[in-house]
Structure 1
Amino acid sequence: MPPAAIPAKRALPSKEGSLFKEVLNLYETRQLKKGLKTADQILKKFPEHGETLCMKGLILTHMGRREEGLEFVKKGIRLDLTSHICWHVFGLIQKGEKNYEEALKSYGQALRFDKENLNILRDAAHLQTQLRTFDALVETRHTLLRIRPTVRQNWVALAVAYHLNGEPTDACRVLAQYEATLKNVPDYDVEHSEVLLYHVRLLEETGALADALALLDDSAKSRAIVDRIAIMEFRARLLSKLGQDDAVHTWQALIEQNPDSHDYYRGFLSHRDALTDENRGQALQILKDFTSQIPKAGAPRRLALNLAHAHRGTEGDEFKELAEPYLLAGLEKGIPSLFADIKSLYRDSAKRQTIEDLVEALREKLAATTAVPSGAADAEPTTYLWTLYFLAQHYSYLSQHTRALELLETALAHTPTLPELLMFKGRVLKRSGDPHGAARCLDEARVLDLQDRFLNTKCAKYRLRVGMIDEASEILGLFTKKDAPSPGADLEDMQSLLYLTEEADAYLRKGNLGMALKRYTAIQKVFDELEDDQFDFHGYSLRKFTLNVYIDLVKWEDRLRSHPAYVHAAITASQIYVRLHDDPSIASRVGSSANLTGAEKKAKKKAKKAEKKVQGESQKGSPAATSNANEDKGLEPPAAKDDDPDGAKLLQSPDPLEKAARWLAPLSTLAKPSVDGWIATYDVAVRRRKYLQAVRALNAARALDGEHPELHVRIAHLRRTISSAPQPPPAPIGPVVTAAVSELLPEGVSLEHFSSQYLQRHPANPLAILASARISHLLQAPREEVESALFGVFNPEVQLDIRGALRISEFLDEIGSPRADEFRSACDARFELSTVFKSPAEKTALRWNAAESAAVTGDADKVEVVG
């Protein structure tokens, strides 16, 4: 087949054709200045040569002249719409902007005119993987393999494409053909070893366990697989699945390699029959045998506590026999994380009581002992200290905060310079509803070691929780870059989810919705960047043959937004957007500078000053100022200027519900167990009049917790919304929605009866009382009736806690109740340790000068350790 004729507008004379090839070569070798001069030589004679214009634009973009370069590229495409080079360049620009869908379309256009261009095919494959279009990825990898069948990477890439597309059997077939073509593989070839391990993994996934074991054993004997631990782990797992006795020896060998790996012990036990009450004793004996064989191993001792039964008041309590030496060893060694280690055992009330009895007995013994036994003079005082610390954690976990504080005071009298004691005292006070006292305790702990980054970070976190945002920023500034515009900006660059989440929540509690939304949006950007970061690995991992890790990475990225930080940010941001939709005047009220506090005005002024500083630095480094420093800036667009320092523009979004829906979209598949996520989804969907989506959200929430108070309120809200609508939902969804609502709440049941039935089922739950009151308010009941119902939480049978009381207090403020202060006063009297129900003036009096309390306020690097 003769080559296609070159269009007249694209054809160049011999001299200029050679110059164009030189432009391509100079770009590939990153000789950008020479490439630009050469492109200009061509354009002097042929100013409308599209391919040269695109290449000039690409080079200018790399040199930092982005806007100018984009204009040249767009002009070049308009002049030559059938050039694969023009479309390839446009795709590169869009890929640099992380606009992957449009970039893939450009690559598709380029492939129409050059179907076998290796560079375009390879880049298109990476984009298809990023966008998870695996069907198209398989086709692209087939094409690459057909063009270059001698390249090893093309075989492996096709197998990976099949695997990602859910066809592991075809992936195995490709790898088998690839391995059959190999000759003279060098010894200890790590890349070949990784391919073989990947092949074994694929065979295991397809259920061909015998074939996987045979390939593993053959490769191990020939030393084709060099990772000996991986061989043992794969072999142990395969033998266990096949039910072969050799699995015992393999798991035992792994345990000898790493006696503290819980997974190895679980694998050893899983080889036997599934754990039941009948064989529990046998499994426990196995762990005891491992303990005697490997005395220094802690894993078998800890796992044995999971299996042992606790029988209080009976002889032969196996749990007590095992727990006593385990706890005593941890307390004698002074392990601060001992309680965190055994906390999971508290699900069994008998075990929890046994632990309490053991440690309390030890505390009484140590407190009463005056003569220290021989050989224990050094250990005895610290054992007593850590016993007090453990018991404080124990009682605080059981919500016995007063007892926990008593033990901590005793421990602080014993050793006042142990930061862990003050840190946990702060946590107890936080749980007791005293965030001010908690922050003060963390500040005292910080002063004990001003160079400890963990202590300073923890202190900053507690200051944020009490609303001391500027004071927290001062502490964080001790450990951030000194040349950063602000500590917060540096922490945002470092993707500190803890800081962003805590500061967003702090602004939300203060009512500054703009800054809260700005911080939640920063969390969203972090996850967007994490998603974009995987792009480079699509090529790198295949070049380096790190296939197993790469597959794990792709699967991890697929569930990235199930991370608790994203789930929390998505739900809270969507709630803010719902509030903005329900009351658009919030944006003008909250966004005005008149409503800002002095600290917030100061922060806003500081942000503008930092922005000017960044702009000045960028102008100094601009191409106009220096031509040598920015020869190759890459294709990524420059960092966007922060033109919304206080979040006011976010509040003034014209489509808040659409933004909320985009936030919540990933949760429907990645956070299915979250009732709060489904409730937030309902709130957005019902306001967008997407009633089927709203019903699905409520059904999903009911499947998780049919008695959830918020679900109860939303069911009533949906019934009232549908019944009070001017016209019913249109066909064909109208009958479906009506039937679904009837299933949630039968038509014959009134909302009043529905609410009273729910309250009868949960008379002691304060949130259920709140839910019932909210439905009464929804039904426009008199405010006095709603208030009376809410004050019923002070009845003796109601199990009122601080969180429930705070929710009720917020609702009273929401409905404008004149009894809100009365309710807070009653809560303040009931929860003696709390400060969250005090008046604003009393809260202000609780604040302290943090700078003065911290003995030294200079740079952490210059501070002596205070003992």
Structure 2
Amino acid sequence: MDPSKQQLPPKENALFKRILKCYEQKQYKNGLKFAKQILANYPDHGETLAMKGLTLNCLGRKEEAYNFVRQGLRNNLRSHVCWHVFGLLQRSDKKYDEAIKCYRNALKWDKDNLQILRDLSLLQIQMRDLEGYKETRYRLFELRPTQRASWIGYAMSFHLLKDYEMALRILEEFRKTIQKTTYDFEYSELLLYQNMVLRESGKIDEAMKHLGTYENNICDKVTLQEIKGEIYMSIGRKEEACEVYRKLVTRNPENRNYYLKLEEALGLQTEEERLALYEELRQKYPKAHVPKRLPLNYARNENLELMLDPYLRAALQKGVPPLFTDLLCLYKDPERVQVIEKLMTRYLRNLEETGHLCETDNEFKEPASVLYVQMFLAQHYSYLGNTEKGLELINKALEHTPTLIELYIIKGKLLKHAGDTIGAYEALQEAQELDTADRYVNSKAASYLLKANLVKEAEEMCSKFTREGVSAMENLNEMQCMWFQTECARAYFRLGQYGEALKKCHEVDRHFTEIIEDQFDFHTYCMRKMTLRSYVELLRLEDVLRNNRFYWAAAKTAITIYLKLYDEPLSDNTGDDNLNTANMDPAELKKLRSKQRKAAKKAEQNKAEEKKKEEKKAEHQKSKSGGNQGDDIDNSPQDDLVPHKLERPSDPLAEAIKFLHPLQSLAPNNIETHLMAFQIYIRKGKPLLMLQALKRAMKVDAENPELHTCTVQFLQYRRQKLSGLVSNDPVIEVINQEVERLLPTTDPTQLNEDFINRHKEWLPHRLQAAKSMVLLDSVQRDRSLTIATSLDDQLQGRTLKVCEQVLEWLESRAFNATAEEVSRFKAHSLAIYPRARVFMPPQAASSSSSISASTPNHNHTDSPAS
């Protein structure tokens, strides 16, 4: 269109400016009125059409918005406003790459537009396009050299690119222009950021001089001293570092890190040196807890008992419920465990006989001490795997004080470790009833309900603390309550409701996406408020955000489900499993299929209509309020996660890979990452990627039992799928070379036999060897059954979890054990784990009452419980 026809007369031009003002002030209803007035006379004016579309987008009318913006762009391709608006629309839909292209096109027609340049820089730092960010910040610096954000943004672009020299030059020039006041926090933050860049560039001496020069201008004195201590340590000036850390300890004697840094600065190596230091500090700070606790990590033999005795007695007399958690790190050493058990059993005997903790101390008598000793010992025996002894003690404690909530929580934990999920959640429900206002106990009770696969009951339990008028499940999703969602996903998976489980996994994934998108709020704020060190830390945290344990849990569950759906895909017609279609004649079957398709189509249409009604209602409410509740950026509604569609993906392996990729980059030290990668790629038939996963897993733990099974699968795949290919094929050559280098033998059967011989004392390894045996030769089924189901007392790694894995394998399609074989293994396991409901007959397992504490004590050895 002719550009001259796109020029508005003065009256309409004034109206257009009012549209822009209404958009900035979120007066969307008024903006639409002004746009209507202009378009009544100039219906093809591109910029007005674009602004109308942007305003409609803020009101949630996305489809109309795109139509108007595209129409405006067609009418005026040379307008920076139209391109800018189109970029804002793309940004609101999280299409950041497309938005960047739109901003660049806008800059072609108005290269000095500050707002477009700022918006472009935000997207570039969001997408970590650091080179592009540097160029945009330079352009902003040229246009607005007097604004401090221009200096800071330009310097930070070099810092993030690790061009420290240029970043320091810009920061120093900017620092010289600042007018300092008596107490200037923002100037202080600039100096600390400058020092941070100096340290990261390796200029440690200059960083020390910098601190000395500007010490009086730095307001955060604690951070100043901490940085000094780090620098003194790095340049070897340990005497000065000792002085700094002693001052920091005096300032905060409960900061554990200061004590550890002081140890390092003093160069303490022996037990005697460390104990002497902490004795000095304990006398200097008699009320501090840390100098009493830390020496227990180093003391041994007689010293350990001498120091542990007064520490434990003081805690037991005061009544400290988390005492066991406080000492948990000592349980890595069997010698320390023996000393703790010896002291605690002696205390219990003394209390029962004399009412005193110590034979020689008869002055102090606290009746509640016996309660806390029993509580501690119950957790102690639970950790060691003797749950029956632990339950006996906790029941005695409950007889002593039946109103102490912590006792019920510990009882629930003991029953959970014993495999009695029903008894565990019943204990937590009792605790919750004692204090209905305690959110922690409520959450713990909900968690135990989910472990027992009681999802509805868990939701009802959480509803006591969620917002009224909204279902607890929705409110927990809004609050990003990821512990609940990950537990919920596992529960749905165990129940076979794969769609619901995947929905929870995708919701957790969306939370992380939202957290990453929330960076937008900080890109401008942090530079304006000069919180530069925190901003850089935020950017670095966001880069590794999916390393979080909640994402790991959701991703693992999702990948497991997608692999299962690939192996055993669900039918498209819901309810087929419950119908006997085998005996139907073709005409009846065709009629049934048609009926089911119509019902599914109608259900989808009804759902779409309901969604439209809700959108119209929301739109009407926004229009009624003038649109002030809208948001011009983050207003895009998220697509509903429909369980029925999620559990019937067109490509399950592609969906699994989406969850896998973040784990491969952020959790490479977790062997399960590579084991899951292998299982995906063997199904996709990608031998090089399978080999890559195996190599990475071997670097983490070459003797991992599950890795052995994957290795056998790979050798079997190589024998069956690759043996017939041309020998000089580059892929075959690489695989052959790597296999010969990595493995002692390329014969999977021989590899499996060697593995059995090396690990015949370990149950987890025997299970995986049995799986490999069946995979290689179905004739050896009986032998593999004997190897996997042997539960001798001499076996290592015989835990409840491993026994459950054996049972799962027996009942799987891979082995398909007979009812008699399964029943025999269950009976054997139940004799070892008498409370484990998974091994009980159906009638006993479904009972809601837990087994009484009078069950005979089986002194089996178990691994430390989580």
- SS in structure 2 of the partner of residue 16 of structure 1: helix
d(CA) in 1 for partners of 2:146, 2:730: 57
d(CA) in 2 for partners of 1:393, 1:608: 56
Matches within 5 A, 1:618-657: 619-623=616-620, 627-628=624-625, 630-635=627-632, 636-640=634-638, 642=640, 644=642, 647-657=643-653
Provide closer, same or farther for how the CA distance between residues 11 and 609 of structure 1 changes in structure 2, counting only shifts above 3 A.
Answer: closer
Greater CA drift, 833-842 or 198-207: 833-842
Equivalent of 1:217 in 212, 222, 242: 212
- SS in structure 2 of the partner of residue 339 of structure 1: helix
Provide closer, same or farther for how the CA distance between residues 322 and 68 of structure 1 changes in structure 2, counting only shifts above 3 A.
Answer: same
Provide closer, same or farther for how the CA distance between residues 169 and 692 of structure 1 changes in structure 2, counting only shifts above 3 A.
Answer: farther
Q: Is residue 2:296 matched to residue 1:296? A: no
Q: Is residue 2:248 matched to residue 1:251? A: no
Matches within 5 A, 1:179-194: 179-182=175-178, 184-194=179-189
Is the Cα contact below 8 Å between 1:291 and 1:297 reproduced in 2? yes
Is the Cα contact below 8 Å between 1:611 and 1:642 reproduced in 2? no
The aligned counterpart of 1:489 is 474
Q: Partner letter of residue 494 of structure 1? A: M
Residues 72-111 of structure 1, C-alpha deviations (whole Å, 9 max, x = no match)? 1121122222322111111111212222222222222222
The aligned counterpart of 2:769 is 772
Deviation at 1:547, TM superposition (A): 0.9
Is the Cα contact below 8 Å between 2:350 and 2:356 reproduced in 1? no
- SS in structure 2 of the partner of residue 653 of structure 1: coil
Equivalent of 2:804 in 800, 803, 806: 806
Deviation at 1:29, TM superposition (A): 3.4
The aligned counterpart of 1:546 is 531
Deviation at 1:238, TM superposition (A): 2.2
Is the Cα contact below 8 Å between 2:158 and 2:167 reproduced in 1? yes
Q: Partner letter of residue 175 of structure 2? A: E
Deviation at 1:626, TM superposition (A): 5.2
Q: Partner letter of residue 261 of structure 2? A: G
The aligned counterpart of 1:467 is 453
Residues 287-339 of structure 1, C-alpha deviations (whole Å, 9 max, x = no match)? 2211100001111222212222x12xxxxx22222222222222222111111
Residues 512-561 of structure 1, C-alpha deviations (whole Å, 9 max, x = no match)? 21211111111111111111112211111111111111111111111111
Q: Is residue 2:305 matched to residue 1:320? A: yes
The aligned counterpart of 1:498 is 483
The aligned counterpart of 1:833 is 835
TM score, norm. by length of structure 1? 0.89
d(CA) in 1 for partners of 2:831, 2:311: 42
Residues 804-838 of structure 1, C-alpha deviations (whole Å, 9 max, x = no match)? 11111111111321122332222122322322212
Is the Cα contact below 8 Å between 1:790 and 1:808 reproduced in 2? no
Deviation at 1:267, TM superposition (A): 2.0
Equivalent of 1:820 in 801, 819, 822: 822
Equivalent of 1:342 in 301, 310, 327: 327
Matches within 5 A, 1:8-23: 8-23=4-19
Provide closer, same or farther for how the CA distance between residues 565 and 588 of structure 1 changes in structure 2, counting only shifts above 3 A.
Answer: farther
Deviation at 1:402, TM superposition (A): 1.7
Provide closer, same or farther for how the CA distance between residues 786 and 553 of structure 1 changes in structure 2, counting only shifts above 3 A.
Answer: farther
Residues 657-686 of structure 1, C-alpha deviations (whole Å, 9 max, x = no match)? 111001010111211111111100111122
Is the Cα contact below 8 Å between 2:766 and 2:788 reproduced in 1? no
Matches within 5 A, 1:58-77: 58-77=54-73
Matches within 5 A, 1:224-239: 224-239=217-232
Q: Is residue 2:135 matched to residue 1:139? A: yes
- SS in structure 2 of the partner of residue 707 of structure 1: coil
d(CA) in 2 for partners of 1:336, 1:716: 49
Provide closer, same or farther for how the CA distance between residues 119 and 82 of structure 1 changes in structure 2, counting only shifts above 3 A.
Answer: same
d(CA) in 1 for partners of 2:573, 2:707: 32
Greater CA drift, 796-805 or 712-721: 796-805
Is the Cα contact below 8 Å between 1:385 and 1:415 reproduced in 2? yes
Deviation at 1:388, TM superposition (A): 1.2
The aligned counterpart of 1:737 is 735
Q: Partner letter of residue 12 of structure 2? A: E
d(CA) in 2 for partners of 1:260, 1:372: 28
Matches within 5 A, 1:389-400: 389-400=375-386
Q: Is residue 2:191 matched to residue 1:196? A: yes
Deviation at 1:9, TM superposition (A): 4.7
Q: Partner letter of residue 413 of structure 1? A: E
Give identity over the alignment, percent.
34
Q: Partner letter of residue 580 of structure 1? A: L
Equivalent of 2:463 in 448, 452, 477: 477
The aligned counterpart of 2:864 is none
Matches within 5 A, 1:578-617: 578-585=563-570
Matches within 5 A, 1:437-456: 437-456=423-442
- SS in structure 2 of the partner of residue 381 of structure 1: coil
The aligned counterpart of 2:846 is 844
Is the Cα contact below 8 Å between 2:347 and 2:357 reproduced in 1? no
d(CA) in 1 for partners of 2:354, 2:608: 64
- SS in structure 2 of the partner of residue 61 of structure 1: helix
d(CA) in 2 for partners of 1:783, 1:372: 60
Greater CA drift, 499-508 or 250-259: 250-259
Is the Cα contact below 8 Å between 1:155 and 1:175 reproduced in 2? yes
Matches within 5 A, 1:662-677: 662-677=658-673
Provide closer, same or farther for how the CA distance between residues 381 and 6 of structure 1 changes in structure 2, counting only shifts above 3 A.
Answer: farther
The aligned counterpart of 1:760 is 757
The aligned counterpart of 2:858 is none
Q: Is residue 2:573 matched to residue 1:576? A: no
Is the Cα contact below 8 Å between 2:442 and 2:461 reproduced in 1? yes
Deviation at 1:248, TM superposition (A): 2.5
Greater CA drift, 369-378 or 762-771: 369-378
Is the Cα contact below 8 Å between 1:512 and 1:590 reproduced in 2? no
- SS in structure 1 of the partner of residue 175 of structure 2: helix
Is the Cα contact below 8 Å between 1:591 and 1:651 reproduced in 2? no
Is the Cα contact below 8 Å between 1:305 and 1:323 reproduced in 2? yes
The aligned counterpart of 1:602 is none
TM score, norm. by length of structure 2? 0.89
Alignment gaps of 5+ in structure 1: 312-316, 596-606, 849-867
Q: Partner letter of residue 292 of structure 1? A: Q
Is the Cα contact below 8 Å between 2:29 and 2:627 reproduced in 1? no
Deviation at 1:569, TM superposition (A): 1.4
- The aligned length equals 817
Provide closer, same or farther for how the CA distance between residues 326 and 470 of structure 1 changes in structure 2, counting only shifts above 3 A.
Answer: same
d(CA) in 1 for partners of 2:281, 2:622: 70
Deviation at 1:269, TM superposition (A): 2.1
Residues 441-486 of structure 1, C-alpha deviations (whole Å, 9 max, x = no match)? 11222222222221122111111111222222221111111110x2
Q: Partner letter of residue 795 of structure 1? A: D
Is the Cα contact below 8 Å between 1:513 and 1:590 reproduced in 2? no
Q: CA RMSD in A?
A: 2.8
Alignment gaps of 5+ in structure 2: 581-603, 851-866
Deviation at 1:399, TM superposition (A): 1.0
Deviation at 1:377, TM superposition (A): 8.6
The aligned counterpart of 1:266 is 260
Q: Partner letter of residue 806 of structure 1? A: E
- SS in structure 1 of the partner of residue 4 of structure 2: coil
d(CA) in 1 for partners of 2:615, 2:57: 16
Q: Partner letter of residue 52 of structure 1? A: T
Deviation at 1:608, TM superposition (A): 14
Is the Cα contact below 8 Å between 2:423 and 2:849 reproduced in 1? no
Deviation at 1:731, TM superposition (A): 4.6
Is the Cα contact below 8 Å between 2:69 and 2:86 reproduced in 1? yes
Provide closer, same or farther for how the CA distance between residues 340 and 410 of structure 1 changes in structure 2, counting only shifts above 3 A.
Answer: same
Is the Cα contact below 8 Å between 1:591 and 1:648 reproduced in 2? no
d(CA) in 1 for partners of 2:540, 2:291: 31
Equivalent of 1:281 in 266, 272, 288: 272
Deviation at 1:418, TM superposition (A): 0.9
Equivalent of 2:686 in 690, 693, 700: 690
